Structure 1
Amino acid sequence: MFALLYPGQGAQSPGFLHRLPPHAAVAATLDEASNVLALDVGQLDTAEALRSSIAVQIALVVAGVAVQRRLAAAGIEAHAHAGLSVGAYAAAVGSGALSFADALRMVRMRAELMERAYPSGYGLSAIEGLTEAQVEALIEPLANSPNTQVYIANVNAPRQIVVAGSVTALDAFNERATTAGAHRAKRLMVTVPSHCELLREASDALAAYAAGVAFRSPASVYIGNRRARALYRPADIRDDLATNMRYTVRWFDALTALVERGATLLVEAPPGQVLTDIAREAYPEITALAAASFEGDRWVAVVERRLTGRHTPPT
């Protein structure tokens, strides 16, 4: 089974949309996004633009859908789709559960709600080397103090936990985690406290908007963020997307669900390879590739060769 993985906020880097494969399907995807949103999507990946969660989240979804369509143009369709955080929107489009236009509109509203709720002073930190239980134990004594409280936002791997909170609280927690034995405790390139109760009101507002958005049963497997299992009903996928900003992302469980369903090839959409590295470490018997690590379109031929055993030049 072949699965596409779509990264979330924090994976972005300046110019990443301009490093997408030079193909008509990719160009058409960028043009469609620009028309839907009435802006030049090609300007969203500048260093200045990427300071905004709105630009970052839209650009990540565009990149994910562009890569999925590039594969489709080569006659390659993924059997399953899973995205981390905002990457779940690209996964929903790839699985056929949501139109690209509706995904773009939802993502723009999602990011606007998040930025409006916390325009500055908040973010995420990655804690490596501690388990979820160890991080929870460090968080518990801080729970009654709003100035120091943090929340578990992502469980990306057994010993890679992301926490959310204010900048002050995160800086203090990073020191606390390092003292407790973390190999690394570092702030991420995210300016909002994603995936925690601080975004409850923003999540409720997005859910109200999503009630009017058309969802369909997916044509291929869609793995949800919140419960890390395959979702089939349109209402369940709508709820997963609309509320994932409020709840912990159980990415490692989602990855495990893909492997347990028989995934043997995982391909990560640009711009990074964090999800690829996690998969390689946890499941070395599975082939995991990051499209961004290949020059131009070479990764498409590699995927086809892995799936068919034959070498076909890129088209």
Structure 2
Amino acid sequence: MLALLFPGQGAQSDGFLHRLPQHRAVTETLEEASQVLDTNVLTLDTPNALRSTIAVQVGLTVAGVAITRALADEQLTPEISAGLSVGAYTAAVSCGAIRFGDALRMVRKRAELMEAAYPSGYGLAAVSGLTEHQLETLAALQANAGNQRVYVGNVNAPRQIVMAGANGALDRFIERALAAGARKAIRLAVSVPSHCELLAHATDELIAYAQEVPFHTPQSTYIGNRGGRPLYTADAIRDDLATNMRYTVRWFDALTVMQEMGARVLIEAPPGQVLTDIVRENFPDTAALAASSFSFDRLVATARRRLEPD
């Protein structure tokens, strides 16, 4: 069984849209996105453009849909789609729950709301080596000491967790986490405090916007962000997308469900590699392929070979 994984903000790199495969489906996707947004999307991956949350989130959505369509042209259609944070929008396109143009416009609205809420001074930090409970305890200690609170944003693996908050609070938390035994704690290239209560108001606005967006019953399985569980209705997927910036992303739960459902080949859309690394570390019997690390022909051949019955 094939699953597609779509990375979130932080996976971007300079020129990532220009490194997409030379494939008819990719070209058509770039052209469609440019028409929908009334801008040349190939301008969204410059170093200057990538300072914008809007450019990053839109660019990641375009890249994910482009590779999905290119794979479909090669008869590689996923039974399961899942995306981390903004990657969930691409997963919803992949499973047929929302049209590409509607997803692009909703992603742009989401990013505009996030950027307007926190234009500067906030972000994310990744901590490795401590559990969610340990980090929650450290966060409570820091808040009780009179500091700004930080929040658990993503649970990517049992000991690989992303925290959200103000820059100064995150810097202090990194020191606290390292002193408590964290193996690694670093800031991420994200300028908003994703997946926590700081984005409650922005979420309310996106919920209102999403009521006018047409959603459809998915044609294949979509795995949600908040619960890390399959969602089967248009309304459930609309709610997951509209609210995921406010709530912790249960990514490891999502990966676990995919294994339980029988996913044996997981392809991560460009430009990501982190989701592939998480799968390889925690589910070594699963074939995890980062599309950005293969030529397209080799990606297709490798996926087909791994999907062959034993």
TM-score bracket for the superposition, by shorter chain length: over 0.9
CA contact under 8 A between 2:264 and 2:307: conserved in structure 1? no
RMSD: 1.3
Shift of residue 31, structure 1, vs aligned partner: 0.5
In the alignment, is residue 286 of structure 1 matched against residue 299 of structure 2?
no
| Paired residue type of 1:285 | D
**What's the counterpart of residue 172 of structure 1?**
172
The number of aligned residues is 310
Q: How does 1:1-315 map to 2 (within 5 A)?
A: 1-143=1-143, 147-308=147-308
Shift of residue 144, structure 1, vs aligned partner: 5.1
| Paired residue type of 2:14 | P
Shift of residue 145, structure 1, vs aligned partner: 6.7
Shift of residue 75, structure 1, vs aligned partner: 1.5
Cα shift readout 1:237-271 (whole Å, capped 9, x = no counterpart): 00000000000000000000100111111110010
Q: What is the CA–CA distance in structure 2 between the aligned matches of 1:297 and 1:192, rounded to whole Å? A: 36
Task: Choose 53-62 or 133-142, whichever is displaced more.
Answer: 133-142
Cα shift readout 1:34-54 (whole Å, capped 9, x = no counterpart): 000001100101111001110
Q: Indicate the percent of aligned positions where both proteins have the same amino acid.
A: 64
Q: What is the CA–CA distance in structure 2 between the aligned matches of 1:256 and 1:122, rounded to whole Å? A: 31
CA contact under 8 A between 1:81 and 1:91: conserved in structure 2? yes
Shift of residue 8, structure 1, vs aligned partner: 0.3
| Paired residue type of 1:239 | D
Cα shift readout 1:54-104 (whole Å, capped 9, x = no counterpart): 000000010110010001111211000000000000000000000000000
Q: What is the CA–CA distance in structure 2 between the aligned matches of 1:265 and 1:94, rounded to whole Å? A: 16
Q: What is the CA–CA distance in structure 2 between the aligned matches of 1:250 and 1:240, rounded to whole Å? A: 12
Instruction: Indicate the SS of the match to 2:199.
Output: helix
| Paired residue type of 1:18 | H
Q: Gaps spanning 5+ residues in structure 1: where?
A: 310-315
Shift of residue 146, structure 1, vs aligned partner: 7.2
Q: Gaps spanning 5+ residues in structure 2: where?
A: none
Q: What is the CA–CA distance in structure 2 between the aligned matches of 1:266 and 1:110, rounded to whole Å? A: 27
Shift of residue 306, structure 1, vs aligned partner: 2.1
CA contact under 8 A between 1:217 and 1:234: conserved in structure 2? yes
| Paired residue type of 1:63 | A
Q: What is the CA–CA distance in structure 1 between the aligned matches of 2:242 and 2:300, rounded to whole Å? A: 32
Deviating above 3 A after TM superposition, structure 1's stretches of 4 or more consecutive aligned residues are 143-147
Instruction: Indicate the SS of the match to 2:124.
Output: strand
| Paired residue type of 1:253 | D
Cα shift readout 1:259-314 (whole Å, capped 9, x = no counterpart): 011111111001021000000110101111100111343212221222247xxxxx
CA contact under 8 A between 2:57 and 2:108: conserved in structure 1? yes
Shift of residue 141, structure 1, vs aligned partner: 1.9
Task: Choose 188-197 or 143-152, whichever is displaced more.
Answer: 143-152
| Paired residue type of 1:178 | L
Instruction: Indicate the SS of the match to 2:18.
Output: helix
Q: What is the CA–CA distance in structure 2 between the aligned matches of 1:146 and 1:214, rounded to whole Å? A: 45
Instruction: Indicate the SS of the match to 1:298.
Output: helix
| Paired residue type of 1:90 | T
CA contact under 8 A between 1:92 and 1:222: conserved in structure 2? yes
Shift of residue 142, structure 1, vs aligned partner: 2.8
Q: What is the CA–CA distance in structure 2 between the aligned matches of 1:219 and 1:247, rounded to whole Å? A: 26
CA contact under 8 A between 2:142 and 2:173: conserved in structure 1? no
Instruction: Indicate the SS of the match to 1:248.
Output: coil
Instruction: Indicate the SS of the match to 1:119.
Output: coil
Q: What is the CA–CA distance in structure 1 between the aligned matches of 2:67 and 2:277, rounded to whole Å? A: 19
